[in-house]
Structure 1
Amino acid sequence: MSESEDDWLSLMPTEPLQSQCCGSGCKPCVYDVYQKELAQWEEAKAKKDRSLLTKQKEESSNSELNPDTFTAFKISSVEQLTEDTYQYKFELPGNSSLGLSLGQHIVLRGMVKGLEVQRAYTPVSPVNAEGYFEVLIKCYKAGLMSQYIKSWIEGDTVFWRGPFGGFPYCPNQYGELIMLASGTGIAPMLPILQYITENEDDETFITLVGCFRTFENIYLKPLLQDQSRYWNVRTCYVLSQAS
């Protein structure tokens, strides 16, 4: 039985909404993924072969990151750091690693009132962390994604895709690195910092300047204090509302 035009139109991929783009310059962007899926659909329609569409996967549950499709990860713990900032830990099977390179970020997908929203976050866990990864997230009162994130509890399943971006670095490539970070902007600095201090042969000196509202609002203080004990690490804080 021949398939009607309506049958094929029902299988046509939907163009992403503006809210589905995280705005971080990801490659591939959601629009790149859409163009790829549209080309697959057009080829399948022209050949009248639906099997060509099986290459498209909207979701995966094998805990392996993919820049084109979203993968399910389970939240293993939620830790509130300040009144509006949380650290989320996600499970990875066995001793597997997320497989990120330095400076790479991943994209979160959320649904708020029927609207799909995507935002980019950089894991704060070491790039070689096994069995887990951690993300630092600040929630905003009027933020669409924040409304979704604030509903998370331990055991929930969340969808991520990636990785994207990166920071090309070789040990001893520079004599000194100066890291300037404000608030949660410290997230992409931490894996780089830990990568350097874990390598005894890397003698790069690091100056980390963190900008926060108050001393209480400094994120991940125990980790930063541990890192500052290394001979080649110096940390200092700029507080905008210090009493």
Structure 2
Amino acid sequence: MWARASLRHAHTRNISSKPAASRSSSYGPAAAILGIAASYYFFSPDVSRAAPTVEDQVLSPTYFTKCSITSNENSGPDTRLVTVTVPAKSIPSTSSLHPIWSVYIKDDAIQVERPYTPLGGIDSDGRMRFWIKKYPRGEVGRWLHSKIVGDVIELRGPLQTWRWQPDTWDEVIMISGGTGITPFYQLFHSVISQMPTSSTCFTLLHSSKTEDELPPPAILDSLISYAKEHPSNFRVRLFVDTPAADIPEAQTGRIGRVDIERSLRKDVSSSTWLGRLLGQTEIPDLRQRKVLFLVCGPEPMLNAIAGPYGRNFSQGPVGGALAELGCRTDQVYKL
């Protein structure tokens, strides 16, 4: 999904076309080199096409595993919540999984695969739940929408998309559009909700075109509930293009620079009384702060917020609203 998993994690790809999803992190040259090497091995067209199907082995990026569809529920316009269950012998150790990670699901009829992010990771019974949007030209998404309980599909993974580094950032601002919320829900489920007293403050800014296209209750309810219970640790702000009658938390409009500024924990409003009266703000000196921005969504949104990807889906320079705010390259990560 243009934003992966259930998502397109911002860049869906055909196994015979674009190279892989894992992009080098901003934590240093060594990490970048390892990321590029892993990307070449795990996601190159030749490796992907040649990956065998293996039974009775733990999940791996190097081969496909047969799994069963155990639930497929409608969740809104062109979206479904799909649960896939991994065989008992193929369930990986949860201690080896660090968010944010995804798996590739293959439409074996046309030999095309796409990456999807499990919302809550994988549970002890091997269940993974995905929020998947059906696009007119999205082969695998349309194929998954047609599956019924009991159908068998093949997937490979887990594949690291971005790894959480504890005690690295004072603030983490997550900005998503549509199904691009899925990696952030995984981070919420695996990290944020498990550390309510953390010194890191998390904020989620999420945008959908209409109220009906907002994440379903299975996703949204726990986010909003947790934010109300732990306002100093986690906040959620929802945006829709048109007014939302049934969700008072939703703000009409799209996420912009001012919204990002206001999401920062410290008051960045002008210190003058006139500036406060007029609603004017000053650009904060983000370069001096330990603030990280994670962005996942359709390309137009991602470009406006953080700038486009670089060549071969590298991170590229910071652009858009975050460039206007003066963010450093290592303060922005495009999923």
TM-score, normalization by structure 1: 0.73
- How many angstroms apart in 1 are the aligned matches of 2:57 and 2:128? 11
Single out whichever of 200-209 and 151-160 deviates more from structure 2. 200-209
Paired residue for 1:148?
Answer: 143
Paired residue for 2:77?
Answer: 83
Letter in 1 for 2:146: S
User: How far apart are residue 212 of structure 1 and its match?
Assistant: 0.6
Q: Does the CA contact (< 8 Å) of 2:72 and 2:145 recur in 1?
A: no
What whole-Å deviation, never above 9, does each CA across 1:195-232 have from its counterpart, x for those lacking one? 12212452311110000112232112223223323231
Paired residue for 1:3?
Answer: none
RMSD: 2.6
User: How far apart are residue 34 of structure 1 and its match?
Assistant: 6.5
1:105 maps onto 2:99 in alignment: no
1:29 maps onto 2:43 in alignment: yes
Identity of aligned residues (%): 23
- How many angstroms apart in 2 are the aligned matches of 1:130 and 1:165? 20
What whole-Å deviation, never above 9, does each CA across 1:128-178 have from its counterpart, x for those lacking one? 632111111100123222331122011111111112233232333211110
- How many angstroms apart in 1 are the aligned matches of 2:78 and 2:122? 28
- How many angstroms apart in 2 are the aligned matches of 1:63 and 1:138? 30
User: How far apart are residue 98 of structure 1 and its match?
Assistant: 6.6
Letter in 2 for 1:29: F
Letter in 1 for 2:238: Y
Paired residue for 2:301?
Answer: none
Computing the radius of gyration from Cα coordinates, the structure with the larger value is 1
User: How far apart are residue 60 of structure 1 and its match?
Assistant: 2.2
- How many angstroms apart in 1 are the aligned matches of 2:93 and 2:16? 23
1:138 maps onto 2:133 in alignment: yes
- How many angstroms apart in 2 are the aligned matches of 1:167 and 1:227? 23
* Structure 1 residue ranges without an equivalent (≥5): 1-17, 38-56
Superposition map of 1:45-124 within 5 A? 58-62=52-56, 64-93=58-87, 96-97=91-92, 99=94, 100-112=97-109, 115-124=110-119
- 3-state SS in 2 of match to 1:187: helix
Which structure has more strand as a fraction of its residues? 1
Q: What is the aligned length?
A: 203
Single out whichever of 182-191 and 21-30 deviates more from structure 2. 21-30
Paired residue for 2:323?
Answer: none
Paired residue for 1:8?
Answer: none
Letter in 1 for 2:180: G
